[in-house]
Amino acid sequence: MVALTNLDDLLEDQLKDLYNAEGQLLKALPKMAKAANEPELKQAFERHTEETREHINRLEQVFEAIGAKPKGKTCLAMKGLIEEAQEVLQEDAEPAVRDAALIAAAQRVEHYEIAGYGTVRTYAKTLGHDDAAKLLQKTLDEEGRTDKMLTQLAETCVNQAAEMGGEEEEEEEA
């Protein structure tokens, strides 16, 4: 374990956590996209996969801006969130219900990232790392937009379809 003796140490430690979290997410998102039934949700996961690649690149720029080496430390929180998402993928669920569960899992991830990026952005600002703070704010803004988009998908189509469950299929078979 690294000694955290000042805010610079804490900033670097938290950035390492986020760096690893984004790497874990980059591996999980394609599986979530593949499991999604709703085309817009599938596209959202695919789009967020590309954004996540950019977030990793941006974090590498932040490390450089603060004079640190880009490396991660295992983010146990993201590991747990992804394990929960993988449980959803293994459930025997109606496609629309699975989509609603995928959105719930994805929003938990987004909220974790929003908290993490907000924290490191504030640390960077406090320490006078203005370039790093701007990069972190850009990612924070994207994470917020992704969360809002997931909410919109849930409210406009996925939750209603999940509420119907298998009723539509039963009606079609009759």
- Predicted pLDDT at 31: 95
**Would you say residue 1 lies in a domain?**
no
Q: Which residues contact 68 (CB under 8 A, 6 or more apart)?
A: 12, 15
Dihedral (CA of 137, 140, 142, 145) sign: negative
Could you tell me the pTM of the whole model?
A: 0.90
Amino acid in position 11: L
Contact between 116 and 170 under an 8 Å Cβ cutoff? The reply is no
Half-sphere exposure of 152 (CA within 13 A, CB side): 8
The per-residue pLDDT for 29 is 96
Asked if residue 112 is part of any domain, the answer here is: yes
pLDDT at residue 171 in the model: 45
We report the CATH number of the domain holding residue 149 as 1.20.1260.10
Q: What's the structural domain count of the chain?
A: 1
Residue 49's nearest CA partner among 64, 37, 33, 35 is 33
Tens digit of pLDDT per residue, the chain (174 long)? 668 999 999 999 999 999 999 999 999 999 999 999 999 999 999 999 999 999 999 999 999 999 999 999 999 999 999 999 999 888 888 999 999 999 999 999 999 999 999 999 999 999 999 999 999 999 999 999 999 999 999 999 898 888 887 554 444 444
Residue 2 included in any domain: no
CA atoms lying within 13 Å on the CB side of residue 146: 29
pLDDT of residue 166: 54
122 lies in a domain? yes
Contact call for residues 96 and 162 (beta carbons, < 8 A): yes
* Domain range enclosing 138: 7-173
